[in-house]
Amino acid sequence: MSRTPVLEVNNLSVGYQTTKGVLEAVRKVDFSVYENEVVGLIGESGSGKSTLAYAIMRLLKNGAHVTEGSVKVLGQDLYNMDPETLRTFRWSNISMVFQSAMNALNPVMTVEQQIIDTLRFHDPSISKKAALELARELFRLVRIDPSRLKSYPHELSGGMRQRVIIAIAIALNPKFVIMDEPTTALDVVVQKSILDQIMELKERLGFSILFISHDFSLVSEIADRVAVMYCGRLVEVANSGTLSTPDGHHPYTEGLIHAIPRFTDKKTKLRGIPGTPPALDKIPSGCSFHPRCKYAEEVCSLQAPPIVKTEKSIVECHFHAKVGEHNG
Ligand SMILES: Nc1ncnc2c1ncn2[C@@H]1O[C@H](COP(=O)(O)OP(=O)(O)OP(=O)(O)O)[C@@H](O)[C@H]1O
Ligand SMILES: [Mg+2]
């Protein structure tokens, strides 16, 4: 069965213009997200997740720019669109819940006004009355009583504010939504209820999600596939079901698996990944993970690793077949 991609990222690199020259935060990234699919994107802080998300939205700022590659959403090249087409295309086809979005609401406007403004900015043909009716419907969808539309952000709880942000992201019925750490700032109980709700909305409205998080166990639970980012590269894209054992995955993915208590049996010691990720101006040669990798041999510092397709995943490693050997 052939699947329809909603997102196709090809050979995408993103650089930040700095006093040290252009530093690449996303390096030759390739992946797709298909209809109705949830893809989790994980990686340590600074690995380039948000930069990749902004590049996909064509919303890069702070001196960041695409240096090569392309982004297609629903088959259309986002970087070949004129600004007016892009304005209507974005939000009605692709939208994003930004990292720390909870603080993104305007504190001096009611949430009703903010939702209506968003709706009318992206679809100027919509009447005020229709926008208000849609805002009510959206509140019902994210399970907030529509009477709360008159509230100012500070009158809502953190969980409610995040629901408002999600409501705005799905307002124009997009086919694809990027969620950048949508629940990180919330306590565990609220986090769980919002996640359940996101998955329910996804089923009901039929959109695909790129779900960005540091939390490997959470992501592997909700995603169909997990993309693992290290130092600006996608080092692995694996089927979630295969992540209960480290064998055959990328050594970095193995480290993430070992850092989750319930993924390891009692005999296996819980371990972190030694060392820290390198700075963008000191990316190691060959495989950028090699200085932290227990499987590394000389070739890893000399040659870029091959991209290997296995049943479980697409993995970029000279020695992925050895992963698992050192365990126990
Ligand atoms: N304006 C900027 N100028 C230069 N470098 C930047 C700038 N913004 C981000 N970076 C660098 O780009 C890299 C990727 O940052 P990014 O915010 O995309 O990471 P992230 O994976 O989203 O991290 P986090 O998990 O903390 O949100 C980091 O090394 C960061 O220091
Ligand atoms: Mg980020």
Is residue 16 in contact with ligand 1, taking CB distance under 6 Å? yes
DSSP one-letter code for 278: P
Pocket mutation for ligand 1, best pick of 18, 22, 41, 47 (most atoms within 8 Å of C-beta): 47
Determine the average pLDDT of the residues in 65-81.
Answer: 97
For the CA of 181, the closest atom of ligand 1 is: 27
Per-residue pLDDT band at 328 (split at 50, 70, 90): very low
Token pair listed for 220: 């592997």
Determine the average pLDDT of the residues in 51-77.
Answer: 96
Per-residue pLDDT band at 212 (split at 50, 70, 90): very high
Determine the average pLDDT of the residues in 195-220.
Answer: 93
CATH top class, domain 5-227: alpha beta
Q: 3-state DSSP call for residue 279?
A: coil
Q: Quote the ligand 1 centre to 52 CA distance (angstroms).
A: 10
**Is the pLDDT confidence value at 265 over 80?**
no
Q: CB atoms < 10 A from the CB of 137, how many?
A: 12
Measured CA to CA, the distance from residue 161 to residue 295 in angstroms comes to 45
The residue among 165 and 260 whose pLDDT is bigger is: 165
Is residue 46 in contact with ligand 1, taking CB distance under 6 Å? yes
Per-residue pLDDT band at 164 (split at 50, 70, 90): very high
Amino acid 151: pLDDT: 96
Is residue 18 in contact with ligand 1, taking CB distance under 6 Å? yes
What is the maximum span of the chain, computed from C-alpha positions, in angstroms? 67
Q: Quote the ligand 1 centre to 141 CA distance (angstroms).
A: 33
Q: What percent of the chain has pLDDT over 90?
A: 72
Per-residue pLDDT band at 20 (split at 50, 70, 90): confident
Q: Which residue's C-alpha comes closest to atom 30 of ligand 1? A: 46
Determine the average pLDDT of the residues in 9-36.
Answer: 96
- Domains of the chain, residue spans: 5-227, 250-322
Among 30-39, 190-199, 262-271, top mean pLDDT goes to 30-39
Measured CA to CA, the distance from residue 109 to residue 11 in angstroms comes to 41
Per-residue pLDDT band at 269 (split at 50, 70, 90): low
Closest ligand (CA of 23): 1
Q: Quote the ligand 1 centre to 66 CA distance (angstroms).
A: 14
Specify the DSSP element, H or E, that contains 30.
strand 21-34
Q: Among the listed ranges 34-48, 179-193, 223-237, which one has the minimum average pLDDT value?
A: 179-193
112 phi/psi in degrees, rounded to 5: -60, -50
Token pair listed for 103: 């603080």
